[in-house]
Chain A
Amino acid sequence: MTTRTMLLVGTPKGAFVLESDAERTDWSVQGPMCEGWPIHDIIVEPGSGALLAAGGSPWYGPAIFRSEDLGATWTHSSVGLTYGDDGEAIKTTWSLAAGPDGTIYAGVEPAGLFRSGDGGATWAHVTGLTDHPTRSGWQPGNGGLILHTIVPHPTDRDRVWVGISAVGVFETRDGGATWEPRNNGVRADFSPDPHPETGQCVHKFAAAAGQPETLYQQNHCGVYRSDDGGEHWDEITPGLPGQFGFPLVTDPRDPDTAWVIPLNGDDRGRYMPDASAAVWRTHDRGQSWVRSGDGLPQANAYLSVLREAMARDTLEPVGIAFGTGTGQLWHSADAGVSWNLVTADLPAIWSVESVVLDS
């Protein structure tokens, strides 16, 4: 059996596909793809193995690209990707996720959720979220009013969590008809009321392996864990060098393990603390954190990492990759203990996804 590993990278200048083997040491680079469109997220469609890329052109609007040959050729569609002629124009697509029944979800700007039952050929607006009674009070974050995180329940097709900046986390338990905010316990330090129902600046969240009720969240105002599907969050920031960061990934097998990349603060340049690059991980559900800078630059590293720009694979030991806002792509083949530079010459990296193919 041959194992191929791939890193799918979204940038403002198109999609890139990097390929290696099970060792994950040497990587080839192919791209830019998707006609150089700004690409915010790339996933693999379960079952078919097709690549789906979400993006939007400043000229030609939003679209979802699809490749059935690992990036060699692409088609695109935005059929149904609209709030209607009376609604706001959709600027771009930000996020993609696949549900347990094969449904593909897409998050867009201005914030809303769409779904496709045909692999992205056509899309339908999930109106229940847009119709939420808090919608008129939704305010954009620095990156816009964007739906950037989609976490489908791994087995229950009716349950999906989404994250919107700067609005917070919502969950549906009825297939998208109705939604409930899931922000209890999450601070909004920038708000007169630090604990509003909505208005939290969620940056990224992910479910724990095998424990879909356990969610880990990197927020503008700290790192949190929920053990009840987001109904209440407990802060797990202590032990980290700061509360501010963007990406978060969880282990594919261990529900107690997650990785984050703290930055120095929202008003201090948003780079790694003391310009010393590091990824932090917990092995005990956030009770303690371990720093790793082995292989990463430890001085004069004014690096930032955006919310979608870290990913893990499913190999053992798990591989972790992250990309910076200045085009460096780093990879760890030992679960984030040590790091190697894959390439330093990509455009700004907006998203990274890891793929393992066995043949």
Chain B
Amino acid sequence: MTTVLLPRSLLALFPGVERRHEVGAGTVATVIDELEAAVPGIRDRLVQAGPRLRPHINVFVDGEPGDLDTPVETSSTVHVIPAVSGGA
């Protein structure tokens, strides 16, 4: 299974949801779709019109920056990390 690690600021919006998730392989998009099935509403927090990742959401697949089309292997680890931006 692919391991997904979610950021604290995202978990705060969904009380009770764990930081670590195990999902099927595919692409970043299918990973997010699978998360959405388990945590309704989470896709809207990560994906905007296009569809594409929100501008200040970074997704790393095995340490490399990815987008919605990036392949995800069964052995992959996906980090979702808010960008260091937003200021004040």
Contact = CB atoms under 8 A, between A and B. Distances in A.
Interface of A: 12, 35, 58-61, 63, 76-79, 81-90
Contact of A60 (B13, B50, B85): B13
Contacts of B85: 58
B57 to A, nearest CB: 6
A59 B7 CA distance: 11
The 8 closest A-B pairs by CB, nearest first: A89-B48, A60-B45, A58-B86, A89-B49, A59-B82, A59-B56, A78-B44, A35-B12
Nearest to B10: A60
A285 to B, nearest CB: 41
Interface in B13-41: 13, 41
A77 B48 contact: no
A59 B54 contact: yes
A58 B87 CA distance: 10
B83 to A, nearest CB: 7
Contact of B44 (A79, A85, A87): A79
25 contacts: A12-B88, A35-B9, A35-B13, A59-B9, A59-B54, A59-B56, A59-B82, A59-B83, A60-B9, A60-B10, A60-B45, A61-B44, A61-B45, A61-B48, A61-B54, A76-B13, A76-B41, A78-B41, A79-B41, A81-B44, A82-B49, A88-B49, A89-B48, A89-B50, A90-B49
B16 to A, nearest CB: 12
Contact of B49 (A60, A79, A86): A86
Contacts of B51: 85
Most buried by A among B45, B50, B51, B85: B45
Contacts of A90: 48-49
Given A60-B46, A60-B57, 7 more contacts: A58-B56, A61-B44, A61-B45, A61-B54, A76-B13, A79-B41, A90-B48
A81 to B, nearest CB: 8
A115 B44 CA distance: 18
A12 B41 CA distance: 23
A59 B50 CA distance: 16
Contacts of B54: 59-61
A61 B12 CA distance: 15
B8 to A, nearest CB: 10
